[in-house]
């Protein structure tokens, strides 16, 4: 399954999962969870699915939760200190090679319950909330060609290059940088090529940068902007988790 097809499947399934409407409990036929030692260091983590085989490489527990419950990292709260430190390689296979993305996510939730003894609940809290919207002069995003591959890389001088990515990738990246919830309100549903030119490194005199200002300037070049307000925001609270048992 391609990244694009999987992304569309996740977006289709999101509303069901966001409301907690899951079907009968499902589980993988076989699953392996291995501690990465030494750890790989911070890096982007994505769930890969191919004919019922699901893989995560070097994922922290919080990153696995993000993938399984379709939530932004900043909306996962609580949990033990190690859930942002320890990294795991997860390889799991569904009995049905044609299992759908929503079914795979249900199985991943079951794996978290069985192997990490994970217990979570949802709450609504008032938080500063950002919405990504189109600027007054319109979007300047370049729509990707169907035959282009999906890629993300860091270029020279702090450039971030996105190739054939949905805006969900940008939204999640901004949420992580701001450590605050961000929603896509642009209405743009395609796949795009774009780059961000910014630097979050300390400036003269080692003064920290204003991250919001840096992001606002960068996305303005794409014809986008952020609007903020205090809103009730649904978050996922980790009530309990344990380091996994050996395979």
* Residue-range domain boundaries for the chain: 3-124+235-240, 125-232
Give the max Cα distance, the chain. Answer: 58
182-212 confidence digits (pLDDT tens): 999 999 999 999 888 877 676 656 677 788 8
Least confident stretch, 7-11, 37-41, 218-222? 7-11
Average per-residue pLDDT for the chain: 84
Read off the pLDDT band of 158 (50, 70, 90).
low
pTM over 0.85: no
Residue whose pair of structure tokens reads 């060609």 in the numeric block: 145
Structure tokens belonging to residue 39: 């750890």
The pLDDT of residue 202: 65
List strands edge to edge, sheet with 182-184.
76-78, 224-240, 119-134, 182-184
Span 149-156, mean pLDDT? 74
Least-confidence region, from 12-26, 57-71, 112-126, 174-188:
12-26
Name residue, tokens 């054939």. 164
Specify the range with the lowest mean pLDDT, choosing from 13-22, 115-124, 137-146, 153-162.
13-22
**Gyration radius of the chain over CA positions:** 19
**Taking 60 as the threshold, does the pLDDT of residue 231 lie above it?**
yes
Provide the pLDDT for residue 129. 87
Predicted confidence at residue 155, as pLDDT, reads 64
pLDDT at 75 > cutoff 50: yes
At 57, the pLDDT band (50, 70, 90 cuts) reads very high
**How are beta strands 53-59 and 48-50 bridged, if at all?**
antiparallel
Mean pLDDT for the stretch of residues 60-88:
93
The DSSP secondary-structure symbol of 205 reads G
CA distance 17 to 106: 9
Q: 196 in helix, strand or coil?
A: strand
pLDDT recorded at residue 168: 87
Label residue 203 exposed, middle or buried (CB < 10 Å: 0-12, 13-18, 19+): exposed
Residue 137: the pLDDT is: 93
User: What per-residue confidence (pLDDT) applies to 6?
Assistant: 42
User: Rounded distance, CA 4 to CA 190, Å?
Assistant: 10
Helix, coil or strand: residue 133: strand
**pLDDT score, position 28:** 96
List the beta strands (DSSP E) in the chain: 30-35, 48-50, 53-59, 76-78, 88-93, 119-134, 142-143, 151-154, 159-165, 182-184, 192-197, 224-240
């Amino acid at each position: 399954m391609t990244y694009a097809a999987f992304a569309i499947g996740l977006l289709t399934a999101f509303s069901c999962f966001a409301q907690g409407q899951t079907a009968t409990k499902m589980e993988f036929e076989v699953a392996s969870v291995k501690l990465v030692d030494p750890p790989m260091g911070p890096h982007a983590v994505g769930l890969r699915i191919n004919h019922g085989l699901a893989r995560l490489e070097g994922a922290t527990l919080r990153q696995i939760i993000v993938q399984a419950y379709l939530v932004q990292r900043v909306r996962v709260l609580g949990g033990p200190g190690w859930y942002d430190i320890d990294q795991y390689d997860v390889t799991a296979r569904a009995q049905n090679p044609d299992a759908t993305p929503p079914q795979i996510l249900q199985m991943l939730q079951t794996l978290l319950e069985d192997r990490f003894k994970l217990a979570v609940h949802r709450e609504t809290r008032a938080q500063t909330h950002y919405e990504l919207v189109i600027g007054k002069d319109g979007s300047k995003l370049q729509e990707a060609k169907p035959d282009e591959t999906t890629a993300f890389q860091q270029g020279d001088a702090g450039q971030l290059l996105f190739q054939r990515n949905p805006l969900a990738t940008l939204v999640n990246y901004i949420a992580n940088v701001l450590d605050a919830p961000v929603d896509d309100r642009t209405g743009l549903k395609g796949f795009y090529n774009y780059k961000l030119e910014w630097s979050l490194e300390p400036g003269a005199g080692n003064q920290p940068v204003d991250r919001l200002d840096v992001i606002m300037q960068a996305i303005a070049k794409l014809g986008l902007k952020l609007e903020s307000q205090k809103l009730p925001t649904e978050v996922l609270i980790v009530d309990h988790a344990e380091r996994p048992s050996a395979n």
